């Protein structure tokens, strides 16, 4: 499997896709960054189960692409390379990941986001295979919670014909997020580089007509799962807090895309942010909360499987992967 590279020249063209996941070995990422093709690297199914009280939470990998300094408008190429070297990544390109999460408890089977699609990029759209490997069929999913409507989070919701890929699922999303991408009255507010997202969002809204449930404020969307407003990356960007017994997990969506950069310096925004200042303020607040409360977090762009903790590190933060005792 190869990885797609995103640079300043590609930023406008791929903003609707807005990132993806990779579980490639580091040597493959280094080969891609140097310009050579790496193909045929078959991987084991990429899913990982954790427990949060009575919930079983399964991380599902969707695919992969790389980001370079071009997606960070306020960071120089030299500073980006230095940050990558420090984190043992290729200096020219960060191997970004996208994860989705399956929540199971009792008779509930819930997806949080659905990844991208092969139509978006050949390196995306691996979530269905990994879901199947985890023993779950699309028809088993009863609820899908969306963090936001960028293409790498909703691309897996509809098939190539526009039909719903999850035939029995209720689609739950914050009302202001849905309206931003699908209400013609909001069109003038969408940054030009992200207007490609409108078509994908409209396809999804049509595919799940009659099974689409918007919510207004932070609410309990499912018993034990609360919506958490994390605005800025998009107008209705939302996290989901799972609490059971003594355990808590915050699935924070796209609080960070390039962890070695944006945790070390939360003030660095990415070009996909709709309102960068708000995204930065939200990231600072969430990182402080996670570190102060020693809360487990999970992110769609954190290194697979995406579970871990946030530790203070000088004036910034660092991501500490969850210890193995949390896995099944």
Using alpha carbons, select from 260, 255, 233, 249 the residue that is nearest to residue 319: 260
What integer is the mean pLDDT of 69-81?
96
CATH code, domain carrying 202: 3.60.15.10
Domain residues for the domain of 321 are 4-326
Residue-wise pLDDT for 276-320, tens only, equals 999 999 999 999 999 999 999 999 999 999 999 999 999 999 999
Q: Is 56 strand, coil or helix?
A: strand
The token duo for 118 is 């092969």
Average pLDDT, the chain: 88
Residue-wise pLDDT for 104-130, tens only, equals 999 999 999 999 998 888 889 999 999
What local confidence, expressed as pLDDT, does residue 276 receive?
97
What local confidence, expressed as pLDDT, does residue 325 receive?
54
Number of compact structural domains in the chain:
1
Q: Is 52 exposed, middle or buried (0-12, 13-18, 19+ CB in 10 A)?
A: buried
Whether pTM exceeds 0.85: yes
Residue-wise pLDDT for 130-144, tens only, equals 999 999 999 999 999
What integer is the mean pLDDT of 246-275?
97
């Amino acid at each position: 499997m190869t990885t797609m590279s995103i640079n300043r020249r590609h930023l406008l063209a791929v903003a609707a896709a807005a990132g993806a996941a990779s579980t490639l070995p580091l040597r493959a990422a280094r080969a891609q960054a140097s310009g050579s093709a790496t193909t045929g690297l078959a991987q084991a199914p990429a899913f990982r189960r954790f427990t949060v009280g009575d919930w079983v939470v399964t991380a599902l990998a969707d695919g992969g692409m790389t980001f370079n300094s071009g997606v960070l408008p306020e960071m120089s190429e030299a500073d980006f390379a230095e940050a990558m070297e420090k984190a043992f990544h290729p200096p020219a390109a960060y191997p970004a990941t996208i994860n989705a999460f399956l929540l199971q408890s009792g008779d509930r089977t819930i997806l949080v986001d659905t990844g991208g699609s092969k139509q978006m990029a050949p390196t995306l759209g691996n979530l269905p295979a990994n879901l199947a490997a985890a023993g779950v069929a699309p028809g088993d999913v009863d609820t899908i919670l969306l963090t936001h409507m960028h293409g790498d989070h909703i691309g897996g919701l509809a098939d190539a014909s526009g039909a719903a890929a999850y035939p029995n699922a209720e689609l739950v999303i914050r009302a202001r997020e849905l309206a931003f991408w699908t209400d013609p009255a909001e069109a003038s507010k969408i940054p030009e580089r992200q207007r490609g997202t409108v078509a994908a969002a409209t396809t999804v809204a049509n595919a799940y007509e009659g099974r689409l449930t918007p919510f207004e404020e932070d609410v309990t969307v499912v018993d034990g799962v609360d919506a958490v407003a994390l605005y800025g990356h998009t107008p209705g960007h939302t996290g989901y807090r799972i609490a059971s017994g003594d355990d808590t997990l915050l699935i924070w969506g796209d609080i960070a895309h390039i962890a070695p950069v944006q945790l070390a310096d939360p003030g660095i925004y990415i070009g996909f942010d709709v309102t960068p200042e708000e995204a930065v303020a939200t990231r600072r607040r969430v990182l402080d909360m996670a570190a102060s409360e020693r809360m487990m977090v999970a992110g769609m762009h954190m290194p697979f499987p995406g579970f871990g903790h946030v530790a203070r590190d000088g004036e910034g933060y660092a991501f500490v992967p969850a210890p193995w005792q949390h896995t099944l």
